[in-house]
Amino acid sequence: MIPTAYPPATEIARLSARMLLETGAVDFRPEDPFTLASGLPSPTYVDCRRLISFPRIRATLMDFLTLTVMREAGLEAFDNVAGGETAGIPFAALVAERMALPMSYVRKKPKGYGRNARIEGRIAPSQRVLLVEDLTTDGGSKISFVEAIRETGAQCAHAAVIFFYDIFPETRETLASCGLTLHWLCTWSDVLAEARAQESFAPETLDDVERFLKEPRKWQQARG
């Protein structure tokens, strides 16, 4: 069912951040940093996969994501919703259901047997495809998925995520150079603000996280 209520974007961001904190999808650990896929340290971690286990929160966030896309891109802007393997697949299915659109998904690489496909489901050459993922850090994986969609002859100019890091300035340039517009519900700054309001972590922990968010590369370099 297509949502019809349109909360302000600022309220969507605040509530989305609160739900990430409430489900334990966010953790701050500056004293014992997480290691990112790049090998670099980070005092922050977000796992949007946890959200699928919380039905009320899951439903609300998918309503928010559908509303955000329709408000920013248009109510009749898409013909297909594609999820990125693997975290984006359940969210793409839920958004496609709300938008009454076909759903497909994109593999990170061809599966290596059978049809050796990267696209599962059906994307027609004339379709306008919305890519749905759980989050965006530097935008690299989004471009790979978009290129696979475009190889079918379809258009893909929009991607929607629950969470956008929004701390690396090159991300926006990377996505823009690919002709991709990103839509999101909340960022680290929204989560930090809500964590302070809810007193979810010790003040000194939040202060250290804020230093990282303002200058992530400097924070990482200082910790090897």
Share of the chain above pLDDT 70, in %: 95
Does 160 score more than 90 pLDDT? yes
pLDDT of 132:
98
Task: Identify the architecture of domain 9-222 in CATH.
Answer: 3-Layer(aba) Sandwich (3.40)
pLDDT tens string 125-145: 999 999 999 999 888 888 999
pTM for this entry: 0.93
Rounded CA separation 76/100 (Å) = 11
**Rounded distance, CA 173 to CA 171, Å?**
5
Domain ranges of the chain: 9-222
